Structures are given as structure tokens and as C-alpha cells.
Chain A
Amino acid sequence: MTAVVEEAGRPIDLGRRAAPRGRFTVGRTLRYLVLLLFVLVVLVPVYVLLVTSFKGPGDAAPTRAWNLPQVWTTANWETAWSTLSPAIARTVQMVVPAALISAFLGSLNGFVLSRWRFPGADLVFTLILFGMFIPYQAVMIPLNQLVLGLGVPSGVPSLILLHVVYGIPITTLIFRNYYMTVPQELIEAARVDGAGMLRTYAWIVLPISVPSFVVVLIWQFTSAWNDFLFAVFFSSSQNGPVTLALNNLANGALLQDYGVSMAGALFASLPTLLVYVLLGRYFMGGLMSGSVKG
């Protein structure tokens, strides 16, 4: 456990062993076959999504799901883009501040909880952590009333607030685990210099937190981007994020245009996929730290 905790919050290098060269064995061939079979299975839905998104209206029917397009067309992609792009823009406006603010709060908390062992620090940490696991259904009704009572406008502002608040537990966790690994001497040295806690945080801790920030930002970005529950309850299709717009697109139209729905699903997933492909290793690190401790 400890070893894993130490790793948490840092990008994990999963490919550190050198790949072997040459040497054909039955065992290895078998292993490749099984792995490739799984690749095919995993890609089945992707195949359907992709080919359907390039099909014309009549062609994009459930019974023809496995056939290639009769005529390849990018019309669906154009329609999906024009329908979803305002929502995508709103999602960006919502996700970026939400991720930044919750990361900052998490870093403050993580720093305090890892370094200043005030009495009951562990209990406070555990209480914060529990917030990560609550089913949001258990607070949804009064939450609705609370957000109304506070006068936060529906749509982007409400969603930023909610993603920040309910992001605190996970961001606190990741930062705390990371700061646990920062050598105590570094901070002691600052203390000896007479720096207060805030200054220690700003001058010593913050600059070395970049890897953790990347992890937390990716994590928060992905979960806020993919959220649907808060979107349903706290925004409308006029001011809501892309998951809501996509759901409307896929279930709303009079004449269901499957090609457009599928192209839309791919569009809505592109940002998170891109983040994942470009920053995959940090993403894994984020997953690790999120899971291992809670």
C-alpha cells in the first residue's frame, strides 16, 4: 500500500521495462492472439460509431449497423458540429474554471492536511473524503433549493460551483498524497527562515506542485466534461453542457437521424480523448492516486 501511495500523484511510468526482441514462442504468439481478440471486441462499438457517422439518412439504420456506408458523406459531421458547437463552447467555459478552482482549493487543503498535523487532521481528511463517495441523488432535492436560494444562475455558473464543491474531495486527496512525498527538510528549511505557512505554500510548495496540478486538472476536466447528472438538474439545453446537448440530439429529433447522433457522440468525446491521448501517462497517474487511497 505504502509503495503505491508514494507513487500516487506522480505520473506513473508503466512502460519502464524494455520490450524483448525476436524469439518466437508458442506462448507469446498465443498471448498476442488473445490480446488482439480483445482489441477487436473493445473496438466493436467504435466501428459502429464511425461507419454510421459517415452514412446518409436511409443508410444509417440499425439493421445495417455492420455494413460500410453505401455512400460516404460528411454531412452528419457538419450537422453535428453546427448543433453541438455552442454547447461545446459552454462546456469549455464551464470546465476550465471549475478545474482550476477546485485544483487550487485541493492543493491548499492537501498541503495543510499533509504538513500541519493539527489535532484531528485525519478526521477532517476522512470527512472531506467521504464527500467523494456520496451518491448525489442523496442531496439533489435540497441542493436544488440551496442553489436557487443562493441565487446562482442556472447553466454555466451553477455547474462551475457544483463541480468545484464536489471536486474538493478528490483534488484534496491527490494533492495530500503528493505532498506526503515532498521531503520534510524542504519545508523545515523554510520554517527556520521564519516563513509563515502561507509563504511556505506560495514560494516552496506551489512551484513543485506542477505534476500534481496536471494530474488533478486532467481528472477534473474529464469528469466535469462527462458529467450528465448535474447537467440534467442544473442547466437546460439553452445554457447546458455538451452531454445534455448530445442527449437531446440523440433522443430528441422528430425523424431520428442516427448518423448525426453518432457523429455528435464522437464530437462530444473528442476533447477527453485528445487529453487522454496527449497526456495519457499523467491521466494514469491521476487514476492511480484517485483509486488507491479512496
Chain B
Amino acid sequence: MRGARRTSTIAAVAAVAALALAACGGDGGEPESSGSGGADEVEVFTWWAAGSEKAGLDALVKVFDEQHPDVTFVNGAVAGGAGSQAKDLLQTRLQAQDPPDTFQAHAGAELQDYIDAAQIEPVTDLYDEFGLTDAFPPDLMDRLTADDGEIYSIPSNIHRANVVWSNRQVLTDAGIDPDATYADLSAWMDDLEKLKAAGVTPLAVAQAWTQVQLLETVLLADLGADGYSGLWDGSTDWAGPEVKAALEDFQTLMGYTNTDRDGLDWPESQQLVIDGKAAFTVMGDWAEASYEEQEQELGTDYSAFPVPGTDGVFDFLADSFTLPVGAPHPDGAKAWLETVGSAEGQEAFNKAKGSIPARTDVDMSTFGEYQQSAAESFQGDTIVSSLAHGAAVPVATLTAITDATSKFTSGASDLAAFQSELAAANAG
């Protein structure tokens, strides 16, 4: 027994040592503030690792090399799950005080976590230095400006989330006019019902985040732009009858979707429509790239239009670049940000990626047909922030909303429970 006591003493000593170490680890020291220096290279962290996103990045790098031949570009792209994998890894690196020189983040509320954690620096000065303040539309500038009046990132491109994509052949085969326009969701549902009767999947979706994206467009359609934006500032009641009606529509729409949705990611559900196994899908306009890659023609093979009931509203998300606190090459990062914000950089990047420039002074005449119409909408439409892509709410709220949505669409909660969980998620 004596021996046992001694070993437990040893164990205790080891445990104390461990705690001391862990405590040191917890503090981690004050982050160094980034000054200047390190203009020889820049590590750019993105989730643009494949397809058109990679093509866009390559085009941007080409412009960067012309504008800043003395700065070496280091590609820190991480693939996976519409950026979810990249975000996890980024989180680890930022905590390790091993930040990349600049990283990609969705503009808007998603940045708030990084700001709260003092992980990124304001770039307001750079807007003046690069002459960007008037280059972006005022709506966008409003959304980029944080509560403290500072701006923390420079947008590279704009995407629209409220787009319906259809397979024209499938519609024709089912006796539906592929050029039909729908005034609201219920008009659209009539055709979805016909498609269901014809034995095709009327509406393709994929895993939870794409369902949240569908939900946001339904909320947008039923509540209108003001009502939808009110959801995020508290002026629209989550528990009210209008939201309930919208959730009922969402429930109806989910009834038209493919059963294997939870196992798919968005390229797979998009492919269902391209291959003619499903008629419609709701997806952001990055989907355009899949069509281009497979040489499909807008207006011949497929159509794209705003989600019924959201015409005239641009459900926006923007990719943007930041300046992390303690970046090893802040001057390199500033050079990168300058290229990102420049008209040449935005033109080259967006042409290849299939998105539209955030700047309003880029000549759109050489862009694709879809991009031209999107750019037009972006200038004329009411702009609202996307929920599923972090423009509207911080990460924790989005996670709670996604969980509630998955619970509902997998059949574990009823509509009333879903609504109260959504309300709770937004309350805090």
C-alpha cells in the first residue's frame, strides 16, 4: 500500500506539471501587432482549390504577378465542403498565432467572430490608399462596415444565392413551358406537383447548408426584402404567423426533393439537374461554372431565374480578403489586397470564376451572358445578406439554425418546434 501511495504522489506531481503547462498554453501570450516588413512573399489562404474557383485564383495571381513582380505568391488553398474544412483549419492556425498573410472570408457577419477575437486588423486606411471607397456600391459598403465603424476586408467578388436552375428538357418532357415565369412560390409549387406526378425529382437539394440556403430564399420570397432583413435586426418576429407561413412553404418544397439529399454536396445535387434526373434546384450562381465546364448553353439546355417571389431582390454574399493580426508578411498582404481591389484583378478573377466584380466600374461587356444579367441586377436590385453563407449572422447562430433545419428536414421535429428553435437560435 505504501507503494501505491507513492505512485499516486508521482501521478499528482505529473498532473500539476501538466496543469502548469496547460495554463501557459491557454494564455498563449499577447499577439504581436503587425507592423511592416515581409514584402517578399504572401501566403494566401482560400478554399479555392478546384474547378472554376481555382481558375479564378490562377487568373488573379497572374494579375498579381504583373502588378507586384517582387512579391512571391504562396498558395494556401484548402479544399472541402464549401469552405467548411478551410474554416476549421484557419481557426486552428489563427489560435496558433500562425496566421496566413491574408485569408478569404465571407464579408458580413461571419467576420464578426474574427473581429471579436482580435484576429484581423481594420483595413479602412487601405480603402483610402487604394481609392476603393467609391469603387464599391454604397449598399455593399454598409454591409462591410463593422459596428465600430471600421472595415475589415476587401471584397473580390459578389455572388447571388437566390437563383433557381432548371433543366429545360425535363420540363418540356413533363409538359411544362421551360420559359414560364412564376409570380410566387405557390405558382411554382403547381409545376413541382406536375413534375412529381411525371416521376422526376422536382427539386434537387443536398446536405444541410443547401437546405438552409433554400430556407433563406423561401423566407425572402414570403417576407419580402424588408421582412427578411428584419429577421437579423429583430424587427421581424421569428415566432410570428408570417414566418410560420414561410416555414410551411419550406416544408412543402422539401416534400419535392430527392431522398438522398443529406448525403450529397451541392455539385452532386446540381449534377442531378444537369443530368436530367431532377428538374429544378436552388443554388448560388457559382453553379454557373458547372454548366460552363460541361458546355451547357443558357436558354438551350438550362435556365436560371430568381427564386419565385424574390424578383428584384439580390440575396448577396461576397468573398473578401483580410489582414490577420500578426501576419508574417503584412506588406506582401497589402500588395495582395491592392490587386484584389483593383479593377484589373477583379475583372480577371471574376471572368474565370463566373462571379461578378464587387467594383461597379468594371466593363462587363466581355463577361458571360449570365454574369452580365447578374451584374445588372446587382446594381438595380435591393440587396439583402445571405444567411447560409455567413453574411447575415455570426457562425454560432448559423450553426444553431443549421442544426434546427437538419432536425426538421430529417423528421425529428415538427413545424412548431422548428419555428421555436429558429427563434431561440436568433435570440442568442
Contact = CB atoms under 8 A, between A and B. Distances in A.
Interface of A: 118-121, 123-124, 127, 142, 144-150, 153-154, 232-234, 236-238, 247-249, 251-256
A120 B95 contact: no
Contact of B26 (A123, A145, A254): A145
Interface in B349-395: none
Main SS class of interface, B: helix
Given A142-B25, A236-B93, A238-B76, A254 B267 contact: yes
A142 B267 contact: no
Interface string B90-125: 001101111000000000000000000000000000
A260 to B, nearest CB: 11
A145 B51 contact: no
Nearest to B19: A142
Interface string B42-77: 000000011111000000000000000000000010
Nearest to B51: A254
A233 B49 CA distance: 20
B274 to A, nearest CB: 10
B4 A255 contact: no
Interface stretch (B81-89, B132-140, B319-327, B402-410): B81-89
23 contacts: A120-B5, A121-B3, A124-B10, A142-B25, A142-B26, A145-B28, A147-B25, A148-B25, A149-B22, A150-B21, A154-B98, A232-B88, A237-B78, A237-B80, A249-B79, A251-B81, A251-B85, A252-B79, A254-B289, A254-B290, A255-B293, A256-B265, A256-B267
Interface residues of B, number: 42
B96 A148 contact: yes
Nearest to B266: A254
Contacts of B92: 144, 154, 233-234, 236
Contacts of B248: none
B268 interface: yes
Contacts of A123: 3-4, 7-8
B53 A254 contact: yes
Contact of B265 (A127, A142, A146, A251): A251
B257 to A, nearest CB: 17
Nearest to B275: A61
Contacts of B79: 237, 248-249, 251-253
Nearest to B85: A248
Nearest to A252: B79
Interface string B5-30: 11110110000000001101111100
A248 B53 contact: no
Query: Which A-B residue pairs are the 7 nearest by beta carbons?
Result: A119-B3, A149-B25, A254-B51, A252-B79, A120-B7, A120-B3, A145-B25
A148 B95 contact: yes
B4 A119 contact: yes
A255 B22 contact: no
